[in-house]
Structure 1
Amino acid sequence: MHSLREERDENGPAGADDPPGHQVTVTERGSFAVARCSCGWSAPARRSRDRARSDAAEHGR
C-alpha cells in the first residue's frame, strides 16, 4: 500500500501563500511527489520534491 504525506517546509504547509480559492498541497506517494490545488489543478508526478514545490508555486502566480 502506498502512503500519502503532506510535504511541509520551513515556511509551513506547501501553498500557505496561495491566493483565495486556491489551496495547493504537495503530497508524496511512494517515490513521487505531486502538487494539487483545491481548484482541481494538478501537476505531473515528480521524483524531485523541489520540482513539485516549484510547480505549486508557479500555479499560485
Structure 2
Amino acid sequence: MPQQAPSGDAPAPHHTSTAERGSFAVARCSCGWTGPARRSRERARTDAVSHTSPLTERR
C-alpha cells in the first residue's frame, strides 16, 4: 500500500523503471510497487506507464 504524505505536503512523485530477472522484465516504482514478470520488455514498460498514469488507480 502506498504511503500517504502528511497533510499539506504534496505526494512524492513516482519514478518507474524496468529490471531484468533472467528472461523476464519487471516494472518497478519508487513507491514500492512491482508489476508482474513479463517476457516482453515493451509490456513491462507499458505496466510502468499505466502505474504512473493519473487516470489509473494506484495498486
TM range (shorter): 0.5 to 0.7
Q: Which runs of 5+ in 2 are unaligned?
A: 1-11, 54-59
Structure 1 runs (4+) deviating above 3 angstroms are: none
Q: Which runs of 5+ in 1 are unaligned?
A: 1-19
Is 1:55 the counterpart of 2:47? The answer is yes
Deviation of the 1:21 alpha carbon = 2.1
Given the two structures, how large is their TM-score scaled by the length of structure 1?
A: 0.64
CA RMSD of aligned residues (A): 1.0
CA deviation vs aligned residue, 1:23-45 (integer Å, no higher than 9, x gap): 11101111000001010111000
Structure having the higher strand fraction is 1
Is 1:26 the counterpart of 2:18? The answer is yes
The structure number with the bigger radius of gyration is: 2
Given the two structures, how large is their TM-score scaled by the length of structure 2?
A: 0.66
Aligned residues: 42
Q: Percent identity?
A: 64
